[in-house]
Amino acid sequence: MMATVEVEAENPLSFAVPAPRARTVAGVRLDLTALMLLTACLAATPASAQLRSNAQVEQSRAIRDQSVTRTLPPPGRYSSEAGQTFMLDRAGSLTLLRFERSTETWALRPTSAPRGDTIYRNDAGEQVLRVTPSGGITVYTTRNPGGSPVSLTGPAVSLEPTSLGPVQMFNLMTRRSSLVSEALGRLVRINLDGQESEALCIEALIVTTDAVVRIARSPSARPFLDRLRSITVIEGSRASVSYSNGDLRVVVDPRRGIGGRPSSARVIRAVIPQD
């Protein structure tokens, strides 16, 4: 619907090999030494080398994937030594994280790290979690950039986005427009067009407006919002965020589920130029 509101060894088997000798079979003399050399030459062709290279790549990828799979943090409620609490859930290959008293769910993707660790990053490439092969977890935040160890303290809850009815959605858009307009001291329109996944668009709207309010509260960052006149959330083939001509436009990709919704880190980077 379309709505607008103002406001990634040795072989254990060993055999004795007899020395090769020449033989004649059916009138044809076969030199086994030459035959072995020919086989070795054939094995060294570019095509076979490419096959071996491909096999090595697949083997490395399998080892990497197995490492990542072994270090998936279990869903649940976690608390850090620094006093932060968050929930972990899963959605396909993604690990979902939401901090207590926050409206944003982060979709994290695993990457291999030294010593067999796995690092989980958000869509802006920032490190959020580090998991050791033994299952130890460290969380990284702006308040604790050096990381803080965490422990499992409770059961899991679903972090999948929920849908709203038409009236609830209209009211949400009105409240969100008023929130941003009040933070900036002028009218900011909210546009939302979600046909395939309204829940994903609503999630994007909440994340985006919260990010704008955070920027507005920063004296050094607020000037970057001087030309903001509207916030638009639409569906597309690729998740993205752009800011031009006074319109902050967020595109969500319904095919990727919650992983197709840009995070607040992406929104902030779109508004504030990075050095």
Point out the domain boundary residue: 117, 134, 154.
154
**Is residue 110 in a domain?**
yes
Strands (E), 142-239: 148-154, 189-193, 230-235
Give the residue from 154, 179, 214 where a domain finishes: 154
- Asked, for residue 121, whether it belongs to a domain, the answer is yes
Q: What is the mean pLDDT of each run of 10 residues along the chain (275 residues)?
A: 38 31 38 44 48 49 45 90 94 91 92 92 94 94 92 91 81 94 96 85 95 96 97 95 97 92 96 83
Extended strands (E) in the chain: 2-5, 22-25, 28-31, 76-80, 85-91, 94-99, 106-112, 118-121, 127-131, 137-139, 148-154, 189-193, 230-235, 240-244, 247-252
Question: Rounded to an integer, what distance in angstroms lies between the CA atom of residue 126 and that of residue 132?
Answer: 18
pLDDT at 53: 52
Same domain, 113 and 170: no
3-state secondary structure (DSSP) of residue 76? strand
| 224 shares a domain with 176 | yes
- Rounded to an integer, what distance in angstroms lies between the CA atom of residue 239 and that of residue 235? 8
Q: Is residue 171 part of a domain?
A: yes
Q: In this predicted structure, what is the pLDDT of residue 45?
A: 52
Give yes or no: residues 144 and 227 share one domain: no
Q: Looking up tokens 């509101």, which residue turns up?
A: 5
Do 265 and 175 belong to one domain?
yes
Q: For the chain, what is the domain count?
A: 2
For residue 118, the model assigns a pLDDT of 94
Is residue 68 one of the residues assigned to a domain?
Answer: no
Of 105, 129, 154, which closes a domain? 154
190 and 2 Cβ atoms separated by less than 8 Å: no
Asked if 125 and 208 sit in the same domain, the reply is no
The pLDDT, as a whole number, for residue 193 is: 87
> 150 and 170 share a domain?
no
* Domain that residue 180 falls in: 166-271
Tell me, yes or no, whether 13 lies in a domain.
no
Sheet with strand 247-252: strands edge to edge = 2-5, 189-193, 230-235, 247-252, 240-244
